[in-house]
Amino acid sequence: MNTENVRTRFAPSPTGFMHIGNLRTALYTYLIAKKYNGKFILRIEDTDQGRYVEGATDVIYDTLRVCGLNWDEGPDIGGPVGPYIQSERMGIFKQYAEELVKKGKAYYCFCTKERMDQVHEEQRAKGITPTYDRHCRDLPADEVRKLLDAGTPYVIRQRVPLDGTTTFHDELYGDITVPNADLDDQILIKADGMPTYNFANVVDDHLMGITHVVRGNEYLSSAPKYNLLYEAFGWEVPCYIHVEHIMRDETHKLSKRDGDAYFGDFVEAGYYIPAILNYIALLGWAPKGENEIFTLDELVQEFDIHGLSKSPAIFDPLKMKAINFEWIKRLPLEEFKKAALPYIRQTCKSENVNLDVLARVLQPRTELFTQIPERVDFIDELRDYDIDLYFNKKMKTTPETSLEALKASLPLLESISETDWTEENIYNILSKKAEELGVKVGWILLPIRAALSGKLSTPGGGVELAAIMGKEVTLDRIKKGIEKLSA
């Protein structure tokens, strides 16, 4: 594979959403460019007027930016081979098609849409694959001239060889050979003078000097026709890398219907962006070593197209969550705190909260940031809870023993001053008491945790919660617990 002067491109259509599969293609494309110190180019393919969506281009920009997939050339920053928006390139394709006509590799076709519909229908009725019947392929030159002069609407079609085979090379799949007889004389220039996607793609990629084309597997079947086009022009064929789809299950692609197919969905769901990138990189690609956690820069180092998979990969939300969790755990505490704060503040508005301790206990148990609000909601307000909370088999606690424990703790905690209200001091004084009483420290701490939170599961144990919530709230809730247990 050529690795000199690498130029790759990501060429999305602005649909208003960034499908996770598309983003993965963008990522791989970016990685190849960066790996070989090449250029990553962004080209917007917006020629489908019918599909125009307001603001859709911004979704592309924003997504790539927040992911760190920065492009070296593109519509907004320009570059030597612009314009980078396909709709602004419409004028340049027809001459290339006409060049092909001159070379005998393409021809004018005057068949109407209506005729084609009819032909296709008849073909289908006969059970044959609908293709162009090559009605205009061998029209005499003077007749073509006459029709053209008369202003007859026409399209330009590719003149595919009638026999022989075409072979193209894919970096992953190797050589793939197909009989030319199976290839259709596809339209290059439509009746409105605009190029078809397939044609514009070939011309643009060449004009932009693209050396590596990463695209979805759905283009595998049209690749031979691309090759024929490159050959007809005498252009160098780029290196193809076709990547398989991301599936929801064995038989279905991950699609918008699943509600979790778009990048934005995952951000909203509380995923950390570098973790999203990390996971999708792994879907269909395997690193050499055993490490699975990579930053974007590390991916650039590690990436190798030979680790790409030739079969579709099923998207596993569980694994993605695990990767996200791993990322969160590895975050420096300060960074975690910063990212978690907005989520904490959704349900915990209190100012008298030790955020450092809270962040610290939260971090190793946060898989998704969106899990945070529910987990800290007890801090502001203690909701009524069931007395069963005080039963714990392992520590041998019951509501009765808990009452004892709380009563014993209260004066001790009261004796700690506001300024000495630290985890260490709280723990020491309570564990000493436990020792005195000849019980496990949990015998005291479990009831405290229950009284402070009213919950079965909390971030941190009794000591941490007391430290997080402060002396005043702690004492208040322990008193409430004593009341409840005394009733």
Residues in 29-48 at the binding interface with RNA, rule: CB under 7 A: 45-48
Here the tokens at position 30 are 């970016």
- Residues contacting 484, CB < 8 A, separation 6+: 387
Residue in 16, 82, 130, 373 binding RNA, rule: CB under 7 A: 130
Question: Rounded to the nearest whole angstrom, what is the least distance from the CB of residue 379 to RNA in the complex?
Answer: 14
Residue 364 in the binding site for RNA (CB under 7 A)? yes
Which of helix, strand or coil describes residue 259? coil
- Per-residue binding string, RNA, 146-185, x by CB under 7 A, is -------x-x-----------------x--x-xx--x-x-
| 253 versus 407: smaller Cβ distance to RNA | 253
Footprint (CB under 7 A) of RNA, residues 237-276: 245, 247, 250-253
Place of tokens 């000495």: 420
CA dihedral 446, 447, 448, 453 (to 10 degrees): 90
State the Cα torsion 90-92-95-99 to the nearest 10°. Answer: -120
Secondary structure of residue 433 in the 3-state scheme:
helix
Asked if 348 interacts with RNA (CB under 7 A), we say no
Residue 226 contacts residue 21 (beta carbons within 8 Å): no
DSSP bridge partners of 66: none
Per CB under 7 A, the list member of 116, 139, 267, 410 interacting with RNA is 116
- Which is it for the CA torsion 388, 394, 398, 403, positive or negative? negative
Q: How far is the CB of 228 from RNA (least distance, A)?
A: 14
Asked whether position 322 contacts RNA by CB under 7 A, the answer is yes
Judged by beta carbon, residue 38 or residue 160, the one nearer RNA is 160
Angle at 111 between CA 110 and CA 112, to 5 degrees: 115
Within positions 56 to 85, which residues make up the interface with RNA, using CB under 7 A? Answer: none
Task: Pick the stretch among 25-33, 64-72, 111-119, 472-480 that binds RNA (CB under 7 A).
Answer: 111-119
- What would the 3-class secondary structure string for 299-324 be? HHHHCCHHHECCCCEECCHHHHHHHH
The alpha carbon of residue 368 and the mean position of all alpha carbons in its chain are separated, in whole angstroms, by: 16
Tell me the window of 95-103, 204-212, 307-315, 336-344 that interacts with RNA (CB under 7 A): 307-315
User: Facing residues of 285 across strands?
Assistant: 308
Q: Token digits for 232?
A: 């007809």
Which listed range, 28-36, 89-97, 139-147, 285-293, lies at the site for RNA (CB under 7 A)? Answer: 285-293
Instruction: Kindly tell me the sign of the dihedral angle through the C-alpha atoms of 212, 217, 219, 221.
Output: positive
DSSP code, position 217: G
Q: How many CB atoms lie within 10 A of CB 418?
A: 8
Contact positions with RNA (CB under 7 A) in 442-471: 442, 445-446, 449, 456-464
Among 94, 135, 407, 440, binds RNA (CB under 7 A): 440
Give yes or no for residue 113 binding RNA (CB under 7 A). Answer: yes
Among 282, 344, 451, 452, binds RNA (CB under 7 A): 282
Which residues ranging from 376 to 435 are in contact with RNA (CB under 7 A)?
Answer: 392, 394-395, 423, 427
Determine which residue in the list 191, 237, 273, 341 makes contact with RNA, applying CB under 7 A: 191
Q: Contact at 8 Å (CB) between 175 and 23?
A: no
**Residue 446 carries which DSSP code?**
H
Residue 196 in contact with RNA, rule: CB under 7 A: yes
Residue 256: active-site member: yes
Asked whether the beta carbons of 349 and 460 are under 8 A apart, the reply is no
By beta-carbon proximity to RNA, the closer residue of 38 and 239 is 239
- Kindly state the smallest distance separating residue 5's Cβ from RNA, in Å: 25
Among 32, 111, 261, 275, binds RNA (CB under 7 A): 111
Among 125, 141, 150, 318, binds RNA (CB under 7 A): 318
Measured from the CB atom, the residue of 102 and 126 that comes closer to RNA is 126
Shortest spacing between CB 414 and RNA, in angstroms:
19
| Per CB under 7 A, 311 contacts RNA | yes
> For residues 255 and 404, what is the distance between their CA atoms, to the nearest angstrom?
58
- Rounded to a whole number of angstroms, the minimum distance from the CB of residue 438 to RNA is 15
Residue of 103, 113, 256, 338 with catalytic role:
256
Closest approach of RNA to the CB of residue 246, in Å: 9
With helix as H, strand as E and coil as C, how does 84-100 read? CEHHHHHHHHHHHHHHH
Size of the site for RNA (CB under 7 A): 88
Rounded Cα gap, residues 231 and 228, in angstroms: 5
| CA–CA distance, 289 with 456 (Å, rounded to integer) | 40
| Residues annotated as part of the active site | 256
